[in-house]
Structure 1
Amino acid sequence: MPDLAGADADLDEINAFLRRGFGSTLGLEYTEITGDRVHARWTAGPNQHQPSGIVHGGVYCSVIEAMASIGGAAWLGDRGHVVGVNNNTDFLRATREGVLDAEARPVHRGRTQQVWQVDISDDRGRLIAQGKVRLANIADTANIGK
């Protein structure tokens, strides 16, 4: 994994890395990654719709989880990895398409866990969704997923 927030962090390299797997489906373009703030944008459209033609709530949950995890990982650095243990997302306004912005900021950062808030807004600055993610800080990363 590339350095997410160090002096040598390269946003092009980070974006290429994060677009692998499920990240390619979301299409996020990260414009800032630090341990104090993460900003990204993406273009929502029909490939992210639910049957009634609006962006699926799961897209917002996924973006919020991704943003919080990237920020948490940038803050934790080489001390370990983070894993999401709770995601609470509120859907505030429906949207069909357009450029959406997401901004993540820490609410709490401790020894064993972190909480991040993520706001998603449309191109007119209207709040579309807001979520909080609790992350566990994992030092023993060899056993994650086993």
Structure 2
Amino acid sequence: MHTNTDAVKTVLGELDERLGIEFVRVNADHAIATMPVAGNRQITGSMHGGAYCTLAETLASLAACEHAGNGRTAVGLDISATHTGRAAEGRVTATCRAIHLGRTVAVYAVEIDDALGHRVSTARVTTVLRDS
């Protein structure tokens, strides 16, 4: 995966493409992405919690790759998510902010809001930084 700060040129993974994730901004400190609700719903008609987690981990991992720098990569180590709302239509927007940017570990808070700006999920993602 490679990104350019704020001019998002990212090679998407297969799952990212399948879920319809679109990156708005990606840098080490702050990243934003969106994802459609349609196609990512559970049987109840609302966004699947696993889709929220995938969006959060994908965005945090890309931000961590930016922090890691050339010749290094980031891999998700831990994710904790609390789903507090229900998105049933439109797009959700994830905003990722760095909590800790270390040499071997990067930690991010990811807040996901529905199309009306209501919080639907909050995640904390820890990534481990490795040489490629």
Q: How does the TM-score come out when normalised to structure 1? A: 0.83
Number of residue equivalences: 132
Contact 1:5-1:35 within 8 A present in 2 as well: no
Structure 2: 5+ residue runs without aligned partners?
none
The match for 2:61 among 57, 69, 92 is 69
Which structure has the bigger radius of gyration? 1
Tell me the equivalent position of 1:42.
35
Give yes or no for the alignment of 1:30 onto 2:29. no
Post-superposition offset of 1:23: 1.2
Q: Given residue 67 of structure 2, which amino acid in structure 1 is its aligned partner?
A: W
Structure 1 or 2: more strand by fraction: 2
> Any residues of structure 2 matched to 1:117-128 within 5 Å, and which?
117-128=109-120
Normalised by the size of structure 2, how large is the TM-score? 0.92
Contact kept in structure 2, 1:101 and 1:122, CA below 8 Å: yes
Return the alpha-carbon distance in structure 1 between the equivalents of residues 33 and 120 of structure 2: 15
Where is the helix percentage greater, Structure 1 or Structure 2? 1
Q: Is the 8 A contact 1:5 1:33 kept in 2?
A: yes
Once the 2 structures are TM-superposed, how far is the Cα of residue 136 of structure 1 from its aligned partner?
0.5
Question: 5+ residue gaps in structure 1?
Answer: 142-146
Distance in 1 (CA, whole Å) between partners of 2:116 and 2:89 is 12
Structure 1 stretches of at least 4 aligned residues deviating more than 2 Å after TM superposition: none
Q: Distance in 2 between matches of 1:65 and 1:131?
A: 9
Following superposition of structure 1 onto structure 2, how do residues 105-144 of structure 1 map, counting pairs within 5 Å?
105-139=97-131, 141=132
Question: Residue 78 of structure 1 aligns to a residue in which SS?
Answer: coil
Corresponding residue SS for 2:70: helix
Give distance in 1, aligned partners of 2:7 and 2:77: 28
In the alignment, what sits opposite 1:5? 4
What is the alpha-carbon distance in structure 2 between the residues aligned to residue 42 and residue 62 of structure 1? 10
